[in-house]
Amino acid sequence: MSVSVQENQTKLDSFKAYVRKMKQYEEAIALIYWDMRTGAPKKGIETRSEVVGELSTEVFRMSTSDEMGAYLDYFIQPEQLDQLDSISRKMVLECKKEYDRSKKIPAEKYQAYVVLTSQAESMWEEAKHKSDWAMFQPYLEKIVATTKEFIELWGYEGNKYNTLLDMYEPGMTVDKLDQVFGALRDKVVPLLQRIQASPNQPDRAFLNQQFEISKQKQFSLSILKQMQYDFEAGRLDETVHPFATALNPGDVRITTRYLPNDITSALFGTIHEGGHALYEQNISKDLVGTNLCTGTSMGIHESQSRFWENVIGRSKAFWNRYYGELQSIFAGQIDDVDVDTFYRAINHIHPSLIRIEADELTYNFHIMIRYELEKGLINGTIEVADLPQAWNAKYEEYLGVVPSNDGEGVLQDVHWSGGAFGYFPSYSLGNMYAAQFNNTLRKELPNFDELVEAGNLVPIKEWLSDKIYQYGKLLTPNEIVKQVTGEELNPDYLVQYLEEKYKAVYGI
């Protein structure tokens, strides 16, 4: 081995060790966040937020340090970059992108922002519980103002919102999103109108009863095991707003919310978060400790949560297999309800107020509303103080419903309290990706429904692991979609899926 090759390898090993240290800090931060959201004492939140701020700032400093800059200056040169293996090359490119963006933000300003959002998340939880917008408004005004300030420092092309979109869905722009949302809206609205006009509305009366929470937990845990969620590499807890936290592939935690008068909320929320977790648990071990050991984008991530929740969890084949188990757990409550009635009930299409409880079809309108509000906030056409009124107006326009209070309106989601602007579109993108993946998967596993009905979800999970999960962030969202399906994102697959399913459910 020549000296130059040895030097290159030593420098690469040093760079990887530096990145691994950053990832270890991030794992500690994620664990603290998980604790804050699942039961940390309320009186400790303020101090704990400062701890998060300090640790996050240390990671921020490392990502923008002279040492990182020296590594990147060395490896970003074509003669060096071309010699790197695919993982090392992608690590460098991802660090370079983060470095160029983060270097523009003063460390003290970043730390203040992290502390602000940590405190805001706790204040949001209380404000939501009390339905008190005034409690949360000052925090959100500061978050929006800081976000807009950061965008000016980062720079942007075209719409200012593009910079935020790219953080969650690399390569996505307002122009592209407006196009796919417009195409989806144009085709889904007529379908919704036909569904609402159908005389074959599902019977849902049997769902209006109390379902013991301990039994809901029992069934949720059972389904997670069937999905191949690895409980030796994760756990299920309760929280106000369901979420998944990936510390590393060996520790991916999920939460859910149990409602005593709703058997479906926790069940589908658990399956949804379980889909996120399967992605993270099955990333290649070769990526552990690198900045690639995570999902490639939030849209692809959401494609997996929505795939498991809807394509599988709300399918007839799934309930042909598991409905008997549900009846047994809730003995005496749904004994006289057959599986067809149950299946139609859980696939009821009805415009509603709460995003996380929305049906498959109208869910996308919830996302479009948030997307339009966020664009307005970032581009200065909507003020934070006017959000409740703007929110209510759009809900009436898009879904024909109006919140009775801000808890079920503008305060219902946690995302803005954490500064996650640009995140919401990934949910609808996830629906589109999921439908497109489903189209390909069924061609390659033509016995898909038979596998689900037999309770054999292993081949499906293995297909997803092979095609999507293992790559982590090694491939871009567009590379994943093209590699798996042979084409770029196409909203027509979601329209086709919705039409086929709901024409059958409603007999139209």
Confidence of residue 7 (pLDDT cuts 50, 70, 90): confident
**59, 62, 63, 66 alpha-carbon torsion, rounded to 10°:** 160
Confidence of residue 40 (pLDDT cuts 50, 70, 90): confident
Among residues 98, 121, 125, 273, the one annotated as catalytic is 273
Q: Which amino acid is it at 175? A: D
3-class SS of residue 421 = coil
3-class SS of residue 41 = coil
Here the tokens at position 102 are 């983060």
pLDDT value at 27 more than 80: yes
Here the tokens at position 11 are 């420098």
pLDDT, residue 39, reads: 85
pLDDT, residue 1, reads: 44
d(CA 213, CA 216): 5
d(CA 247, CA 26): 8
Top pLDDT among 195 and 45 is at 195
d(CA 338, CA 122): 43
pLDDT value at 405 more than 50: yes
d(CA 409, CA 419): 18
pLDDT value at 123 more than 70: yes
Here the tokens at position 45 are 């939140």
pLDDT value at 407 more than 80: yes
pLDDT value at 4 more than 80: no
pLDDT value at 2 more than 80: no
pLDDT value at 368 more than 50: yes
Beta-bridge mates of residue 262: 259
d(CA 76, CA 60): 20
pLDDT in tens, 97-106: 999 998 999 9
Confidence of residue 20 (pLDDT cuts 50, 70, 90): very high
Here the tokens at position 53 are 């701020």
Q: Which parts are annotated binding residues for Zn(2+)?
A: 272, 276, 302
C-beta separation of 300 from 425 below 8 A: no
DSSP classification of residue 473: T
d(CA 227, CA 305): 12
C-beta separation of 195 from 361 below 8 A: yes
3-class SS of residue 238 = strand
| Residue 248 main-chain phi, psi, to 5 deg | -165, 170
d(CA 215, CA 200): 31
pLDDT in tens, 447-482: 999 999 999 999 999 999 999 999 999 999 999 999
C-beta separation of 21 from 63 below 8 A: no
Buried b (16+ CB within 10 A) or exposed e, 356-392: bbbbbbbbbbbbbbbbbbbbbbbeeebebeebbebbb
* Range ranked top by mean pLDDT from 101-105, 166-170, 433-437: 433-437
3-class SS of residue 335 = coil
Q: Whole-angstrom distance between the N-terminal and C-terminal Cα of the chain? A: 71
pLDDT, residue 302, reads: 95
C-beta separation of 60 from 110 below 8 A: yes
Q: What is the mean pLDDT of the chain?
A: 95
| Out of 32-36, 252-256, 270-274, least confident range | 32-36
C-beta separation of 185 from 495 below 8 A: no
Confidence of residue 45 (pLDDT cuts 50, 70, 90): confident
DSSP classification of residue 347: T
| Residue 256 main-chain phi, psi, to 5 deg | -145, 175
Q: Which parts are annotated binding residues?
A: 272, 276, 302
C-beta separation of 353 from 400 below 8 A: no
Beta-bridge mates of residue 238: 256
Q: Which amino acid is it at 446? A: P
Confidence of residue 311 (pLDDT cuts 50, 70, 90): very high
C-beta separation of 324 from 50 below 8 A: no
d(CA 327, CA 334): 6
> Is residue 397 flagged as an active site residue?
no
pLDDT, residue 365, reads: 96
